[in-house]
């Protein structure tokens, strides 16, 4: 059976409050520190958190039509352009202003998220899961993973350590696993072939990716005789799925046993638009 639905609605408020606390305690130098991947700095990630909260409120809560991609425009390019134009403009704002904006926007986002029906159709498709018809719990869960991993990038950049509640990362990894069947959509294997994904640490868990009736399915279980096993820590896992590990770091921190060819797509799976 697939992993159970996870209700993340009540987690947005404590998570965003903790992010606000970290931003309030960050020094001037901290705001200019680079994050794990890409060219953004802490201030850019904080601005992006403001942007995504306001976008969700505007498009979903307020039913604003907003701006969409131009005909024929690549969706990833469109998202990258949205992100870049906002962060460029936000560089004229002070850390205090950005933090105040995020505190207000994230509080309103939590208020709204808590009213949503988990079983309703998703407002935004979860493209990296290959599911344009997802139910709302996965869309909400995807939003939670976005907030969490950007908050984790900030904490990592300024040396603030882990979030206080390991349950949050456990939920993030649970949602991220839904990217695996889509990542394997073009991979063929004998019926019943199974890949075990084992994650250690405070947010530990075990999952099975199995070939059944011509498709791949993911479930929380420990397969008895997997064709391949992929093992990593929870800290490595979130960095892998959110595109924050170099190929050399993946080789150093992820252990693959068994059929390496069958396991390799796990290492390329991303639970974020890239």
What string of DSSP letters covers 147-188?
A: HHHHHHHHHHHHT--S-S-HHHHHHHHHHHTTHHHHHTTT--
Alpha carbons 272 and 258: distance in angstroms, whole number: 27
Alpha carbons 256 and 236: distance in angstroms, whole number: 14
Domain-located, residue 2? no
pLDDT tens, position by position, 89-122: 999 999 999 999 999 999 999 999 999 999 999 9
List the CATH number of the domain containing 89. 1.20.120.450
Higher-scoring residue by pLDDT: 67, 175: 175
Closest by Cα among 116, 119, 236 to 176? 236
Residues 125, 189 within the same domain: no
189 pLDDT more than 60: yes
Domain-located, residue 170? no
Residues 137, 68 within the same domain: yes
Residues 109, 184 within the same domain: no
Q: Which long-range contacts (CB under 8 A, 24 or more apart) does 123-129 make?
A: 123/59, 123/60, 124/60, 126/178, 127/75, 127/273, 128/179, 128/182, 128/270, 128/271, 128/272, 128/273, 129/178, 129/179, 129/181, 129/182, 129/271
Residues 87, 210 within the same domain: no
pLDDT value of residue 72: 72
Percent of the chain with pLDDT over 90: 82
Domain-located, residue 71? yes
Average pLDDT rounded to a whole number, residues 161-167: 96
Which domain covers residue 29, as residue numbers?
9-165
Longest dimension (CA), the chain: 57
163 pLDDT more than 60: yes
pLDDT tens, position by position, 32-91: 999 987 789 999 999 999 999 999 999 999 999 876 666 777 777 888 888 889 999 999
Q: How does the average pLDDT of the chain come out, rounded?
A: 93
Any idea what the Cα angle at residue 191 is, between residues 189 and 192, rounded to 5°?
105
Residues 209, 134 within the same domain: no
Average pLDDT rounded to a whole number, residues 11-24: 98
Residues 128, 194 within the same domain: no
Backbone angles phi, psi at 131, to 5 degrees: -125, 95
pLDDT value of residue 82: 86
pLDDT tens, position by position, 190-233: 999 999 999 999 999 999 999 999 999 999 998 889 999 999 99
Alpha carbons 64 and 79: distance in angstroms, whole number: 17
Average pLDDT rounded to a whole number, residues 125-134: 78
Percent of the chain with pLDDT over 70: 96
This prediction has a pTM of 0.94
Helix (H, G, I), strand (E, B) or coil at 116: coil
Residues 55, 154 within the same domain: yes
Higher-scoring residue by pLDDT: 128, 3: 128
Residues 36, 99 within the same domain: yes
pLDDT value of residue 273: 79
Average pLDDT rounded to a whole number, residues 239-260: 96
Residues 156, 184 within the same domain: no
Lowest mean pLDDT among 70-79, 160-169, 186-195, 246-255: 70-79
User: How many distinct structural domains can be found in the chain?
Assistant: 2
Lowest mean pLDDT among 117-126, 143-152, 261-270: 117-126
2 pLDDT more than 60: no
Domain-located, residue 273? no
Final residue of a structural domain among 141, 165, 189: 165
Q: Are 175 and 144 in contact (CB under 8 A)?
A: yes
103 Cβ neighbours under 8 A, 6+ residues apart: 16, 20
Residues 154, 223 within the same domain: no
């Amino acid at each position: 059976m697939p992993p159970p639905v996870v209700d993340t609605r009540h987690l947005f408020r404590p998570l965003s409050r903790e992010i606000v606390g970290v931003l309030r305690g960050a020094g001037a130098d901290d705001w200019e520190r680079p994050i794990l991947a890409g060219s953004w700095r802490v201030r850019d990630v904080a601005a992006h958190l403001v942007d995504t909260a306001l976008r969700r409120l505007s498009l979903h809560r307020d039913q604003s039509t907003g701006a969409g991609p131009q005909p024929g425009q690549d969706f990833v390019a469109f998202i990258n352009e949205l992100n870049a134009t906002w962060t460029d403009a936000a560089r004229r704002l002070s850390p205090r202003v950005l933090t105040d904006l995020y505190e207000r926007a994230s509080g309103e986002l939590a208020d709204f998220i808590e009213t949503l029906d988990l079983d309703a159709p998703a407002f935004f498709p979860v493209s990296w899961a290959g599911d344009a018809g997802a139910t709302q719990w996965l869309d909400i869960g995807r939003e939670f993973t976005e907030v969490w991993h950007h908050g984790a990038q900030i904490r990592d950049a300024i040396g603030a350590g882990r979030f206080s509640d390991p349950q949050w990362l456990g939920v993030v990894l649970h949602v991220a696993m839904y990217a695996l069947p889509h990542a394997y959509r073009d991979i063929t294997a004998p019926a019943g072939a199974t890949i075990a994904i084992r994650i250690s640490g405070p947010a530990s868990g075990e999952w099975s990716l199995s070939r059944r009736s011509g498709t791949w399915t993911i479930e929380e279980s420990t397969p008895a005789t997997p064709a391949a096993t992929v093992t990593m820590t929870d800290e490595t896992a979130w960095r892998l799925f959110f595109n924050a590990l170099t190929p050399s770091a993946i080789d150093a921190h992820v252990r693959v046993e068994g059929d390496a060819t069958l396991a390799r797509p796990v290492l390329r799976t991303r639970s974020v638009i890239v």
